[in-house]
Structure 1
Amino acid sequence: MTPLLEYKTLVDVEDVKHLGVIVGQAFIASASESESFLKSVGFENLRVICRDGKVAGGLATLPMGMWLEGQSVPMVGIAGVGIAPEYRGGGVAIALIQNMLQELYAKETPISVLYPATQQLYRKAGYEQAGNYCTWEISTQDIRLNKPPLSLQPIADLNCEILHQLYQQQAQLIHGYLDRHSSIWQRLTQSEEKETVYGYLIGKQDQPEGYIILSQHSQANETVIQIRDWVVLSHGASQTFWSFLANHRSTIKKVTWQSSIIDSLTLLLPEQNAKIKHQKRWMLRIVDVCKALQLRGYKLGVETELHLAVKDDLLTANNNKFILSVANGKGEVRQGGKGELQIDIQGLSSLYTGLFTPHTLKLAGKLDAPDTALLAATEIFTSSAPWMADFF
């Protein structure tokens, strides 16, 4: 007899307790840590899957946006995917993800993003690599920029609106940045029991040009500044960013921060001493092909048309031919056309963000197209490398 699986969008208090235990065990966290995470997300954003009436697993959905070529595309981030050990390997995880995607499609969500614990599961559901998350590090002795051109002001309240405004100014310029969920802001700015979070505005109080949010740690006999979040909106702010960190060299050995795989901040450094300490790729799923292609931005000056034939075994409305017309930085989509560029929903995710070029995707067997369609796709989707500073 096939076990009965039930996907639930309205999660009651008892279900949340069970999910907290499952998530805690899955991510090697304490009960209080997993409970705190679930509360920060909001119970209305939790989803569980039950087998024969018992909670077998669940996940958190984070409604937010992703900045792509200057436009914030509505996006749902997926976090805290956990399946109880006794139910693993029985198809519960893929059923959970597929049900969640069908729910997102019904709600007209264009795209979904997650960080995979395993790519195989999420590829089965149509996700694919779409952008980078990199942690950099440098010794404070190697920075050697000691005179900040701008002043720094300590921030008493890290929940202040000016931080959100400065972040948005930077975010809309970075391909792949998040239009953040409140739980991400909370995690970046909240001090913990053994950790204090500090914040500094860069520039004048009434006209700041950036900020730094950081905490300090002692790891394996090394003292470290962990930059939790940063914004620099001018050359002076970039110089002040590095000068501020260099002036910690008497007590701090090294600094870590999140940035792109090619970090323009390091251009200010005297030598190539900054290194990528950790790098991984997040995955994206096109949930609604029409909405995803219409709502992202496109480079000004590009005026062309692309005929796609998309294969999607799960969300069958995407399993169709589409014509994407791009002009004046915007895209229009209609069904039909010649279907010259043949691509599955996974390959479309990598193409959509520009992580890989159409030519590279063709070599990898992710798409097939004549040269004219490849050229149009290259014009439309080639961009700066997509990345984000947030992990969720």
Structure 2
Amino acid sequence: AGIGYVASYPEFRGNGAASQLMTEILQENYQKETLFSYLAPFSYSFYSKFGYRYVFNQKHYEIDAADFPLGEKTHLTVKRTDFVTAQQDLASVHTQLVGNGSLVRGEFEWSYYFDYKKQPHFAVFYDQAEPRGYVIYAFNGMAFIIHELITLDVQAKKTAYRFIASHAGAFDKFVYTAPSNVTLEQDMREPSRAQINLRADMMARIVNLKAYLKQFPVNVDKQFTIIDEILPENNMTFGAGEAVTMTIGEFTKFVMQDVILREYF
């Protein structure tokens, strides 16, 4: 369950309406046996009161144009295209990498982010007629902005690097906000010259703990006692071993410690 645009008009602030709304949303999603709720917070401390925990990071790169990985010429072909033409192939590639906690992107999300909200450029990398990767990009002055870069194999990555690096003569730098597990610096010739920052990103919480444990049993030598002040239905003790007490947010962080979030938008 995604939470967005929680706000009140100034004249209605201070009466607890936002808190009531958040609680009701979580209660409703508990009844639906929703496993997780993610949100991009305006305040980490505010949403922590509702059991959310800071879980995800983004990795932000600013790279001098001459330092971007050069890539190599491969047997793959590159096709610059528009969103309508590329959507099916973009979705095919993205779906193959969805997992490990990342978000499913339906047709509405594709259209909203890449046709309505933004109108970036698209390049898809093909092996014969099969899409093996893509880059979604834009231009901002002398900066080449990489919105999303996904490749399914080494050949596609080499092709993507070569395509992006071919723009070095027209731009001063490449800017890329990537998932936290991306290691673009490992492919740079001079990684020390790049500006690389880890940025706090989205929060998450388990909504229905029973439903979560049914689908994802926790196999560690611990006896967990979970405290959830918003959804007391989640208050329970389970497991065997070392006794530990955690809030629902702390437990969410514990089980999601290896999860990455691929979405930039």
TM-score range, shorter chain: 0.7 to 0.9
Q: Larger relative contact order (C-alpha < 8 A, sep ≥ 6)? A: 2
Decide whether aligned partners of structure 1 residues 159 and 101 sit closer, same or farther in structure 2, where only a CA change above 3 A counts: farther
Aligned residue for 1:153?
79
Q: Given that residues 147 and 264 in structure 2 are in contact (C-alpha distance below 8 angstroms), is that contact kept between their aligned partners in structure 1?
A: no
Structure richer in strand, relative to its length: 1
Provide, for residues 258-304 of structure 1, a one-character-per-residue CA deviation record: whole Å limited to 9, x for no partner. 32335223322212133335612311111111222333488xxxx65
TM-score normalised to structure 2 length? 0.88
Tell me the SS of whatever aligns to 1:190.
Answer: helix
Q: Given that residues 132 and 260 in structure 1 are in contact (C-alpha distance below 8 angstroms), is that contact kept between their aligned partners in structure 2?
A: yes
Unaligned runs of 5+ in 1: 1-75, 324-336, 355-382
- List 4+ stretches of structure 1 deviating above 6 A: none
Decide whether aligned partners of structure 1 residues 275 and 98 sit closer, same or farther in structure 2, where only a CA change above 3 A counts: same
Does residue 124 in structure 1 map to residue 49 in structure 2? yes
After TM superposition, give the deviation of residue 230 of structure 1 in Å.
1.9
Aligned residue for 1:317?
233
Write the distance in 2 (CA, Å) between the matches of 1:214 and 1:196: 9
Does residue 238 in structure 1 map to residue 157 in structure 2? yes
Q: Given that residues 110 and 292 in structure 1 are in contact (C-alpha distance below 8 angstroms), is that contact kept between their aligned partners in structure 2?
A: yes
Q: Given that residues 151 and 204 in structure 1 are in contact (C-alpha distance below 8 angstroms), is that contact kept between their aligned partners in structure 2?
A: yes
Does residue 261 in structure 1 map to residue 180 in structure 2? yes
TM-score normalised to structure 1 length? 0.61
Residues 300-379 of structure 1: pairs in structure 2 closer than 5 A: 304-323=220-239, 340-354=243-257
After TM superposition, give the deviation of residue 183 of structure 1 in Å.
4.0
Which residue of the other structure, out of 147, 159, 166, is the alignment partner of 1:228? 147
Sequence identity percentage:
25
Does residue 248 in structure 1 map to residue 175 in structure 2? no
Name the count of aligned residue pairs. 262
What is the letter of the counterpart of residue 36 of structure 2? I
Aligned residue for 1:10?
none
What is the letter of the counterpart of residue 263 of structure 2? D
What is the letter of the counterpart of residue 213 of structure 1? I
Provide, for residues 15-50 of structure 1, a one-character-per-residue CA deviation record: whole Å limited to 9, x for no partner. xxxxxxxxxxxxxxxxxxxxxxxxxxxxxxxxxxxx
Does residue 163 in structure 1 map to residue 90 in structure 2? yes
Provide, for residues 297-324 of structure 1, a one-character-per-residue CA deviation record: whole Å limited to 9, x for no partner. 88xxxx655421111122111111123x
Q: Given that residues 110 and 289 in structure 1 are in contact (C-alpha distance below 8 angstroms), is that contact kept between their aligned partners in structure 2?
A: yes
Aligned residue for 1:108?
33
Write the distance in 1 (CA, Å) between the matches of 2:220 and 2:250: 21
Structure with higher Rg: it is 1
Q: Given that residues 131 and 387 in structure 1 are in contact (C-alpha distance below 8 angstroms), is that contact kept between their aligned partners in structure 2?
A: yes
Which residue of the other structure, out of 215, 221, 237, is the alignment partner of 1:295? 215
Aligned residue for 1:328?
none
Aligned residue for 2:262?
389
Provide, for residues 124-171 of structure 1, a one-character-per-residue CA deviation record: whole Å limited to 9, x for no partner. 111111121233221221125164323211234355322112111122
Which residue of the other structure, out of 196, 207, 212, is the alignment partner of 2:130? 207
